[in-house]
């Protein structure tokens, strides 16, 4: 995975220059999701990217990032059923390289958040390397990993939240934590569902002693 830390001015900073002593309920985040032609890293590619900024627990819904792009590999009927993005929608779109600068600027100075985000980061890294954009410097956390950590360190939380074996897909956890799921299944809506899930996690994490970005990266690293 990405190297998250470097020494600077006697303190520990993220490689993006972020102050890791920052409280998690006032830190900047970008919650993101991608839709893909499939899950095969070698033979599939990105179809769309959706993201929302957060400042602490506040979701900035008025300034989203969402772009559909022309994938470098063929759409499959299986993937179209999932994200409902068709050939006719993508054939006139530009390639992902044309939106990369805008997306990277949108992510500046923020911790990236996603559900099973390792997959998104791997596909993004492939495209960034292919088109000469270098590497993604942002630290990242995974809401599925955070959920696993909380389930093992639940403290005084009700067993209703962390009981038994369960599905950890985004919509199962959304239902569990009473996050409403509405609208089309696309990268932006999935990012919004993830943001609301993470919003709930922040308040729970603080009660469990996870108070700074350093703590968050320790327990939520993909």
Q: In residues, how long is the chain?
A: 222
Strand partners, 49: 34, 67
**Location of structure tokens 């934590």:** 177
Per-residue pLDDT band for 9 (boundaries 50, 70, 90) equals very low
pLDDT at 11: 36
C-alpha to C-alpha distance for 26 and 64, rounded to whole angstroms = 19
β pairing state of 111-114 and 140-142: parallel
Residue 72 structure tokens: 């470098």
The answer to which of 10-14, 88-92, 116-120, 143-147 has the lowest mean pLDDT is 10-14
Give the whole-angstrom CA distance, residue 221 versus residue 164.
Answer: 24
Per-residue pLDDT tens digits for 56-109? 999 999 999 999 999 877 666 555 545 556 665 667 888 999 999 999 999 999
Looking at residue 7, its pLDDT comes to 30
Does domain 24-220 fall under CATH 3.30.420.10? My reply is yes
Distance CA 37, CA 83 (A): 9
What per-residue confidence (pLDDT) applies to 170? Answer: 94
Q: Of the given ranges (17-21, 39-43, 68-72, 155-159), which has the lowest mean pLDDT?
A: 155-159
> Do 191 and 32 touch, CB atoms closer than 8 A?
yes
Q: DSSP labels for 192-221?
A: HHHHHHHHHHHHHHHHTT--BHHHHHHHH-
Average pLDDT of the residues of the chain: 85
Task: Please tell me the predicted confidence (pLDDT) of residue 37.
Answer: 86
Task: Give pTM, 2 decimals.
Answer: 0.88
Q: What is the average pLDDT across 192-214?
A: 96
178 Ramachandran zone, left/alpha/beta (phi>0; psi -120 to 50)? left
With CA atoms as reference, report the closest residue to 35 among 143, 124, 146. 124
Q: Which of 17-26, 159-168, 197-206 has the lowest mean pLDDT?
A: 159-168
The fraction of the chain above a pLDDT of 90, given in percent, is 64
* Residue in the structure block whose two tokens are 């990993």: 145
């Amino acid at each position: 995975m990405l190297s998250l830390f470097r020494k600077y001015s006697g303190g520990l900073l993220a490689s993006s220059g972020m102050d890791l002593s920052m409280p998690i309920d006032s830190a900047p985040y970008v919650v993101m999701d991608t839709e893909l032609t499939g899950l095969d890293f070698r033979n599939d590619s990105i179809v769309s990217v959706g993201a929302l900024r957060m400042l602490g627990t506040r979701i900035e819904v008025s300034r989203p990032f969402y772009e559909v792009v022309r994938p470098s590999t063929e759409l499959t009927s299986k993937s179209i059923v999932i994200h409902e993005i068709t050939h006719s929608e993508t054939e006139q779109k530009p390639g992902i390289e044309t939106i990369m600068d805008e997306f990277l600027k949108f992510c500046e100075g923020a911790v990236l958040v996603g559900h099973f985000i390792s997959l998104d980061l791997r596909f993004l890294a492939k495209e960034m390397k292919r088109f000469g954009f270098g590497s993604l410097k942002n630290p990242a956390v995974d809401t599925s990993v955070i959920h696993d950590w909380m389930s093992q360190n639940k403290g005084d939380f009700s067993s209703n939240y962390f009981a038994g074996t369960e599905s950890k897909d985004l919509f199962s956890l959304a239902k569990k934590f009473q996050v409403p799921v509405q609208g089309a299944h696309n990268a932006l809506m999935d990012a919004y569902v993830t943001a609301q899930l993470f919003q709930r996690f922040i308040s729970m994490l603080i009660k469990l002693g996870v108070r700074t970005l350093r703590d968050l990266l320790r327990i939520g690293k993909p």
